[in-house]
Amino acid sequence: MLVKILFIILIMSTNALAMDRWTALAMMESGGDDRAIGRAGEVSRYQIRPDLWLGGNPLDRCAALANAQRIMFSRVTTFERTHGRPPDDFEFYVLWNAPAQINHPHRAVAERARRFMNLVVLTDSNRST
């Protein structure tokens, strides 16, 4: 009986630590810091390059999310058209970080994508981009 209880607690705690893709992406890119500015001038919790920033205050997490989703919408759409399926978590991160490397990501990008995968547990409710 004790083993069953411990198993249930373990499963529940694992699920509680899982993140949706956008939360995991923010953690990977900036640690969730809305004020982060990258070496190349990337802004917001998602570290979006200035040339891709559509508008709004990068310190506003809602504006940052809208910008990130807009960027990924076209990338995911192209991926789905090309591959006939939605990207998995690994591919989602590669599409974010290095879209030109989607079919053959460099080692550093692949390592970050694996870390991203570990942060995310996909459910039907968080598959949207």
pLDDT of 48 above 90: yes
Q: Identify whether 8 is part of a domain.
A: no
> Domain limits at 69?
18-126
CB contact burial 42-60 (16+ within 10 A = b; e otherwise): bbbbbbbeeeebeeeebee
Q: What is the CATH number of the domain that holds 59?
A: 1.10.530.10
Higher pLDDT among residues 31 and 2, named by residue:
31
Question: In this structure, is residue 83 part of a structural domain?
Answer: yes
| pTM, to two decimals | 0.79
Q: Is residue 13 part of a domain?
A: no
Do the domain assignments include residue 115?
yes
Instruction: Identify whether 10 is part of a domain.
Output: no
% of the chain exceeding 70 in pLDDT: 79
What are the pLDDT digits (tens) for 49-105?
A: 999 999 999 999 999 999 999 999 999 999 999 999 999 999 999 999 999 999 999
Token match 């917001």: residue?
44
Q: Is residue 88 part of a domain?
A: yes
Total number of domains in the chain: 1
Mean pLDDT over residues 16-28, rounded?
82
CB atoms within 10 A of CB 39: 6
